[in-house]
């Protein structure tokens, strides 16, 4: 059982968050639908997602310091995200989550976060 006082950031640590992001983008690379939304170099997107997740999971606020408030939906509004695109992206993240060893309670919390975030991103 996880210590309820620890944040997901403390429980996972930066290396596992970095691994999660890396696995997500490996999955994105295998998804033509998602890949067309990105520039050819995914490294900047990986870095932004890493910093964002560190912050969201309770770590340093580096994302906010570098990029301002996340305004997640607004930052993604330029791309049409329907329920199919939502499912495709969410499935990439679920596979990434499944590939990283973590406490089942943390996994459930993180999965719940990504489901809510993916639902929020639908704009079409």
pLDDT tens digit sequence for 85-112: 999 999 999 999 999 999 999 999 999 9
Name the token pair of 27: 């999955």
Rounded distance between C-alpha atoms, residue 60 and residue 85, angstroms = 30
Rounded distance between C-alpha atoms, residue 63 and residue 53, angstroms = 9
pLDDT of the residue at 74: 53
Q: Is there a contact between 11 and 106 (Cβ–Cβ < 8 Å)? A: yes
Confidence of residue 3 (pLDDT cuts 50, 70, 90): very low
Q: What is the mean pLDDT of residues 12-37?
A: 95
**Where in the chain are the domains?**
12-121
Chain-centroid distance of CA 5 in Å reads 23
Residue 78 has pLDDT above 60, yes or no: yes
Instruction: Classify domain 12-121 by CATH number.
Output: 1.10.490.10
Rounded distance between C-alpha atoms, residue 26 and residue 113, angstroms = 20
User: What share of the chain has pLDDT > 70, as a percent?
Assistant: 87
Predicted TM-score (pTM) of the model is: 0.86
């Amino acid at each position: 059982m996880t210590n309820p006082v620890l944040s997901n950031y403390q429980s996972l640590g930066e290396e596992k968050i970095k691994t999660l992001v890396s696995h997500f983008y490996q999955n994105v690379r295998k998804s033509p639908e998602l890949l067309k939304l990105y520039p050819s170099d995914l490294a900047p997107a990986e870095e932004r997602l890493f910093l964002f997740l560190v912050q969201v999971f309770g770590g340093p606020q580096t994302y906010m310091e570098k990029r301002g408030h996340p305004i997640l939906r607004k930052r993604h509004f330029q791309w049409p995200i329907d329920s199919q695109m939502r499912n495709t992206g969410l499935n990439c993240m679920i596979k990434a989550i499944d590939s990283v060893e973590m406490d089942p309670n943390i996994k459930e919390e993180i999965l719940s976060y990504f489901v809510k975030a993916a639902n929020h991103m639908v704009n079409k």
